[in-house]
Chains A and B, each alone.
Chain A
């Protein structure tokens, strides 16, 4: 039996990136919501809900980047130069917010407010830059002779700005619902309000981005059965579970917010992201560099993919197990008395 290694790796990396978006999404979201918090105590609690896990969450981004490098070096060597500046901005944002976790608790009169601001700024910057990369991805990358051949600012269009704004709202929704799950009392009430606002905005952006994608990219539109002004119902219906899933997610968020519940809104927000992600996958497959390099052309040699698969099969379940354990250790509500620092 021979394994289709490039296909398996495309699936593994897609799963890794999805986990990144869900996990780092909520902790970036907490940073995005920082400016709306009432007090220093609230901000301490907000940060403490993610402090023990953010580093692990962000490692999925390293797996996404490193995995793309290792499994699809050709794709990696095209995508990174194509999104040069947004990648740098994302990294700058991640640095500023990453060190803020420790620095904010070490800073004094001037340091503390500065790192509070940097935590928010870095989170927003990283989320926005990721949105620009995502939007640029959907637009497609110009490739000649296996190398990036587009312009420096190809990723900067009204469409990518729309996607970026949408992603910031989406992460805020994940962050707000996470906070509903992890906090109590007044902060829980604030989180509920944030979840409502960011939920409504996310829904609007989802519709806006979906519709403009159909206009901006005919290939994606074709995937969804939209060709030359007519709708192929057969195609659309096979994919219709994807928008339905998103709708279910939004309903769960809405119901959870209405009843001021704890875990339910986060589940709903995760479903919204799963729906958006599946929608993208359906539009992209089989491209790793849209619409120029598919996952077979971009793949590393089979011996490299095979070697890594052995490691992934053995180690990824372990990683998932101990990551789960860490979340279990830090389960439950976080209160001002947690005293992590």
Chain B
């Protein structure tokens, strides 16, 4: 294989990594935020407490910006399968295709259509119908996660398929393909990650407001909600993540070996805390290990496959997987600490009193995003050199396009995403700095509500959003 042929592959991988890492930030945030908004609006309808409404109207603005960025960066991915990975689709489209098609049918239309009502329908529909729209958007984001994680999991642990004589892969059982071995734990792991990411952002933003003004009632309420969620979900996430690792041990031993930097196949592994894994020498440098710590991975007498069981060209990039995993787990431990500390403060009714805790919460605001990206690197890089574990190599999946084309597209994506990301980040941070302001969005009298809608004759109760 000449260098000229190799270039589109490397560039396409860079491009996919860049575009999906950018994209994943937004669903990781909006899945949880949509549910949070649905809860806020539901609580407001049930209790009529103004604080819930104020919070809803504040966070829905941030949701609108994030969701828009998620939508446009998602369209790129659905076309990139074809522009850059056409061989992947030619070979596996018969299995992956229906899962993606179901995502469009069951999730994308639902989200996109009811988003319009959620953002612009305040004065057009009644409060209950508006609440329904919010709930449907939240449901849509979760259904979307279901299908895309099923497709991704099938690439990790393919099931229910057969390989035809011409190399194409078709499904023998779609039930087995959809509910493949790694799907349940991956789905749970990602959904909890999304909720944690949102809770950390909401908690961090609220703590930031409280550091400036500790009597801000809405921010107190939001911080308490966020802390409660983190305290419950962070411990569960540790268990679910562990389960995910055990699935990898059974189905993707090279991934587990890379995560733990195990070069030898043997029993009674240590737990490696620090190392510089080196593929060239097939060993670790500067290793710091906890003897007997391998029981976290497997019982001491169980033989665990090491990287020596794979030819060097069949090993994933160990360094990247090993360290991404440690970043993810390290942040997970900090989330655990944040949740426990916060829960204790809430219990002692001193949540707003501790400035140290509040600073910690602010610092942890972006931690969910970093952990999600790190986890994504572990799972995707750990699968290499395969695009579909054991069936299709990444090198055989790339499109017949020139390196020049891919370099051009990569440049376009980097430029456009840089502009969009910087602007979006500025607008979101500006809103977060302003914080929720009670009464900022009182209803304005106007005749915009269409006749015939459920509350056409009722007095205006739903708030508008003048600016």
> Which chain B residues border A186 with CB–CB below 8 Å?
none
CB distance from A97 to the nearest CB of B (A): 9
Tell me if B76 and A78 are in contact (CB < 8 A).
no
Interface centre among A62, A92, A308 (most CB of B within 10 A): A62
How far does the alpha carbon of A81 sit from the alpha carbon of B101 in the complex, in Å?
A: 20
How far does the alpha carbon of A146 sit from the alpha carbon of B124 in the complex, in Å?
A: 52
How far does the alpha carbon of A71 sit from the alpha carbon of B104 in the complex, in Å?
A: 13
Asked whether B105 is an interface residue with its Cβ less than 8 Å from the other chain, the reply is yes
Q: Mark A313-341, 1 if CB is under 8 A from B, else 0.
A: 00110010011001001111000011111
> In chain A between 65 and 106, which residues have their CB closer than 8 angstroms to a CB of chain B?
65-67, 69-71, 73-74, 76-81, 84-85, 87-89, 91-92, 94-96, 98-99, 101-103, 105-106
> Which chain B residues border A88 with CB–CB below 8 Å?
83, 408-409, 412-413
> Which chain A residues border B79 with CB–CB below 8 Å?
65, 80, 87, 91
Asked whether A248 is an interface residue with its Cβ less than 8 Å from the other chain, the reply is no
Tell me if A55 and B112 are in contact (CB < 8 A).
yes
From B64, B101, B106, contact of A102 by CB (8 A) = B64
Tell me if B453 and A329 are in contact (CB < 8 A).
yes
> Which chain A residues border B119 with CB–CB below 8 Å?
51-52, 340
Tell me if A52 and B116 are in contact (CB < 8 A).
yes
Total count of chain A residues near the partner, CB < 8 A: 73
Tell me if A322 and B113 are in contact (CB < 8 A).
yes
From A56, A80, A106, A308, contact of B109 by CB (8 A) = A56
Tell me if A59 and B86 are in contact (CB < 8 A).
no
From B170, B400, B423, contact of A304 by CB (8 A) = B170
CB distance from B72 to the nearest CB of A (A): 4
> Which chain A residues border B113 with CB–CB below 8 Å?
55-56, 59, 319, 322-323, 326
> Which chain B residues border A15 with CB–CB below 8 Å?
none
Asked whether A2 is an interface residue with its Cβ less than 8 Å from the other chain, the reply is no
Report if A304-B97 is in contact (Cβ < 8 Å); known contacts: A81-B86, A102-B68: yes
Asked whether A301 is an interface residue with its Cβ less than 8 Å from the other chain, the reply is yes
Report if A329-B82 is in contact (Cβ < 8 Å); known contacts: A59-B109, A311-B105: no
Give the interface segment out of A147-155, A200-208, A239-247, A274-282: A147-155
> Which chain B residues border A147 with CB–CB below 8 Å?
86-87, 90, 400
Report if A59-B104 is in contact (Cβ < 8 Å); known contacts: A70-B97, A85-B405: yes
CB distance from A12 to the nearest CB of B (A): 10
Tell me if A76 and B98 are in contact (CB < 8 A).
no
How far does the alpha carbon of A330 sit from the alpha carbon of B464 in the complex, in Å?
A: 15
> Which chain B residues border A61 with CB–CB below 8 Å?
75
Tell me if A81 and B104 are in contact (CB < 8 A).
no
Tell me if A62 and B108 are in contact (CB < 8 A).
yes
A-B CB contact pairs (8 Å), 27 listed: A51-B119, A55-B111, A56-B113, A66-B103, A73-B89, A77-B82, A80-B82, A81-B86, A84-B399, A88-B408, A92-B416, A96-B420, A98-B72, A99-B68, A99-B72, A102-B65, A102-B68, A152-B402, A303-B170, A308-B97, A308-B102, A312-B105, A319-B113, A329-B125, A337-B448, A338-B448, A340-B120
- Chain A residues packing against B (C-beta within 8 Å): 48, 51-53, 55-56, 58-59, 61-63, 65-67, 69-71, 73-74, 76-81, 84-85, 87-89, 91-92, 94-96, 98-99, 101-103, 105-107, 111, 115, 146-149, 152, 300-301, 303-304, 307-308, 311-312, 315-316, 319, 322-323, 326, 329-332, 337-341
- Chain B residues packing against A (C-beta within 8 Å): 64-65, 68-69, 71-76, 78-79, 81-83, 86-87, 89-90, 92-98, 100-106, 108-117, 119-121, 124-125, 170-171, 174, 399-402, 404-405, 408-409, 412-413, 416-417, 419-420, 423-424, 427, 430-431, 444, 446, 448, 450, 453, 464-467
